[in-house]
Amino acid sequence: MGNLDALVATAREARERAYCPYSGYAVGAAVLGADGVIYSGCNVENASYGLTVCAERTAIFAMVAAGCRSIREVVVATQDSGTPCGACRQVMSEFIESPEDVLVHCVDDSGGIRSLRFSELLPHAFRLGRDRG
């Protein structure tokens, strides 16, 4: 099984564990860290909506908690191949060294995959101190 197949399977499995009683929109994510490990996450909603955490951030936080600080590839699994929200894109940018080289794959229930370079998702990321001349 290649990296993409393993990432897709992991994201879909994580999506099955999503806690989304308010929106009904289950999301699973898988992040391939620079350490070669796949980290997963699902969205976890809360009655106080601001406390909800997206699947992408859950996976990234698990990666960071394990000691890895760099993302190689991301898969997000939703019913309709939805892309990461703005907050997730900004968190991803913190851990992506080369936005042109990192792919974000959005998969849907029918097996469709839409792949985008991270630089396409967030072309002008706020990267404090890293983009100054």
Tokens of 71: 């993302």
Write phi, then psi, for 91 (nearest 5 degrees). Answer: -65, -40
- Residue pair 91/76 in contact (Cβ under 8 Å)? The answer is no
Which residues are tagged catalytic?
A: 56
Comparing CA positions, the residue from 77, 59, 75 lying closest to residue 12 is 77
Helix (H) or strand (E) holding 120: helix 118-121
Write phi, then psi, for 95 (nearest 5 degrees). Answer: -120, 15
Q: How far is CA 25 from CA 43, 45, 66, 75, 77, in A?
A: 9, 10, 28, 16, 11
